Every structure is written in C-alpha cells, then in structure tokens.
Structure 1
Amino acid sequence: MTWKTTIAEQRGTATTLLLAGLLLAGCASVPTTHVYRSTTGSVAYTRIGSGQPTVVLQAGLGDGKAAWAPLVSRLSPRYTVLAYDRPGYGDSADSTLPRDPCSVAVALHALLHAEGLSPPYVLVGHSLGGLYQYAYAQLYPQEVAGLVLVDATHPRHWQHMQAEVPTSAHMVEVLRATRFSAVMRREFDQQAECTDKLMAQAPLALPAKVLTRTDYDLYERGAFERMVKVDEQDWLRLTGARQVEPVAGSGHYIQRDKPEAVVAAIDALAAQAKAGR
C-alpha cells in the first residue's frame, strides 16, 4: 500500500518554488517539490516541466538531486524533468533496502510509476548513477527512449582498480573507512552486485550516449586514467552506443563543467524518440 502526493494539488506551488530556488546561490540547489511515500520509506524529488519524453536524472555516490542544478532549468522548458534524492541523501529518509544497482533501479521504477510518470524515459546518470541507469535500461528496456552516461562508473570499476591500480584502491579504502557516510558505504560495497547478470544480457538495443571527461587531477593520471579509458570503451559493447564522446575541458562532473554538452546529448536522444526511431 503506498501513498503519493498529487500533481494537481502541488504543480503550481512546486514549480514556483523550484524556479525561485534555482535562481538563488548560483543554482546551487534543487528544491524538493514532491515526496513519494511507501511502506519502505519516503523519497524526496523534484518534478518540473510538462514536455515529453520525461528525463530522469540519477546522481552519483554521495550526491543527491542538487548535483543536477546546472541542468534542471535548461531542460524543464522542453521536457518533464525528475531528479531525486536516493534514500539517505538530501531530503530523503534512509532505508535498509539493498543498494545494489538492480535494487536501486527497481526502486526508481516503483517511484516513477506510482507518481504517474509514464514511459518512455530518457535516463541520465552521472558516475555511479550511470551504472544505476544502465541497470534500469537492462531491466526495463521497453520503458527507455535513451540512455545518457555522464562519466559513468563501469560495472567492473572497483574490481579493475584493485587489480590494476592498487595504490589508488588503497586510497579509496581509506576514504571509505574514514569519510564515507553509512549509506555511501552500502552503495560502494554493493556496486558490483547483480552486474554479472546485467552484463551477460545482450547489449542495449536503444539510443545511447557515453560522455566522458578529459581532465584528470594529478593523482589520477597514469595507471588510473589508462584503466578508466579502457572501461569507457567497454561501455560501447554494453550499451550499443556508437562512440565514446569526450567533453573537452570537463572533469568528472561534466554536468557542472560543461552542462551544455549533457543537454545536447539529451536533446539528441529525445529527438530520436519523438521521431519514432
């Protein structure tokens, strides 16, 4: 049994509050406009715009919907846009649900359908959120109009780092133990669960864009950068995308450094969806 806020009751007020919030502090936040409540907890999200297709934004490890502040106001005039806080981030209460990619995708599927957002969706995922959106596309391909990966985490990222870049892996282990929140540790520890099943399936037969950064911090250069570039090419096999698209002048947060590149990728896939291709 679930309860949900109704769009008719909140549309006008929510949209006004969101637009006002985006104009403050250099668009540093994305205010909550709705809360989805179920027997497993509550999830805060922003819904704005009314165009089609619906664009669903999924943030990375440690991030909530605020990570998408540079994009929301750019996308909302043309699309329905949803950005949300996974449980334990932002305005969403934590939960004890599994945090592997498939479980995150199933939970997002429940939210979208309970809140009346009909497919097809253009899924956009940054970092670990890209892996989560890939899982959604594999589990519910009939609902997906396109997939945009924004410097996404490869399903074997942590495994490859441990084997090929042990010094970097050790640094991450220290950060996990000392700086990660409890929910971040759960997501990090479960990031590879269920991915064998996903990777064993046929490549996605839907439009996809693989956006990657060009700028690496000094400590990331060398073996780590080489490992990441190999994994980036493997996304082509997994998604069926035609090419990796490096975004010049961007670091890991491409949506912050070069938001226009992410918007252009979304526009391209949305155009294909509207053309029925």
Structure 2
Amino acid sequence: MSKNKIEKLEGLVLITGASSGIGLELAKLAAADNCDLILVADTDLSAGEATARAAGATSVETLQADLSTRAGIDAVMELIGSRTVDVLMANAGTGDGGKFIDQDWDGIAHTIDTNIKGTVSLIHRIGKDMVARDNGRILVTGSIVSDMPGPFNLIYNSTKAFVVDFCVGLANELKESNVVITCLLPGVTDTKFFDRADMEDSPVAKSNKADPAKVAKDGYQALLDGDVKEVSGLMNKVQYFFADILPDEIVAKMHRKMAEPEHGKQ
C-alpha cells in the first residue's frame, strides 16, 4: 500500500550514477521539478550538468567520485555538509560479465563494494538524518535479475538480490515514519552497462532494450507515489513473476543462454 503520495519533488536531490543512462534521466526529471541537484558519478559529469541545467534545475553541483571506496563516500558527505538532503536517488551500479572463476578479484570486489557497500553506506548516512526529521525519500535502482541466479553475470545479479531485499526490509522498518523507500527494478535497458561489463558479445546485449527515460519515469513516479517496489515495463513484470515461481535451476539455464558470450559458448 502506498503512503505519503506527493505531486512533485522539492528541495535538494542527490543522484548517484548520474553521468548517463537512468541516472541522467532521473536528474532531468528532478530538474523539471526545479529541484537543487547534486550529481555524483565515477566519470565526467560536465554533460550531465549541462543537461540538468537545461532541464530546469534550480542549481547543479557535481562530484566525480568512486563510491566503492570510503574516500568516495566521505567526499559526498563533505560536499553535502550541513545541508538537508530531501531525496536520495542511489542509482550507481556496475558489473562484469563472464565466468566468475575467470574474473579478476579486484573487479569482483569493485562490483560488490559499489553496488552494496556504497549504496548501503549512503543510505545509512543520509537516511539517518531523514529519520531524525521524519521526512525524506530514497529511490534505489535494483534490477529484475535480483530474483534470477545469474550465470555469466553472477556478481551483479547477486548484489542486486541483496539491494532489493534490503530496500523492502528497510521500508518495513520505516513504515511508521514519513521516510519513503522505493526500489526500481528495470530490465534490459539501453545504457552503457553492457559496454562497461564487457558483455557486448552476449545475446542480452543484442536484444531489444528499454528506453532509460521510460525506466527513470517509472521509478520517479513510484517514488512520488510512495511505492516500495516498481518493476518497469510490462514484459519485465511478466519475466520477474515467472522468475519467482520457476525452479532456480531452470531460471539459471535461461539466464545463461542470454548472458553467456556467443563466442565462448560450450
């Protein structure tokens, strides 16, 4: 059941993973509501800043930081200073394709530290202040693969399983408060993920992808409505439903067919 439905966002909005894709589209939506923005990413944000200003943001600050590290999280908190963050959009995430055993450990650790440690750390630090003043909204980008054992994208799927469970549990802990926790679950989306994950040779990377603007709009509206979970896209809703009821072994086989590199199939 939704709670605390509002018509638009107001105040200071912090968005991670905001240089492109879903994060940039979320920034455009918040900008259209005339919010003040802090945009964070591990890549250059000059284009994102220009886009947000053109979309109507009252003010835009940017920070290039690695959110898999304590130093990166500390840099975000230092930039915030004594200000109140009204909305946190924890969108930053990463992943690597290929066989788990063949992957470099540093890459595995970076995915875990970005998707879990960085996300949870920001939510803990910023959410603590929201709870203290009994007001605030947090949107976290999960994935429909959170319910799918993920051969050839194993760490990403597993971290997203944690993220979604964490969000639902946190929403329950805070259900008596005016702090809203919303988890957005996209499917395959037209972002830079597959390039950065070195998965361009997989069938899923060559499949039809959702428009990140549509995905962001779904998540943004769910946050305004106070919904806990939002699966973006009708077919993704169907896929997410069947992933929950089919045996894990079958889901794993299906995922492998989509994520395994075509040149290395066995």
Q: TM-score, normalised to structure 1's length?
A: 0.38
More contact order relative to length (CA 8 Å, sep ≥ 6): 2
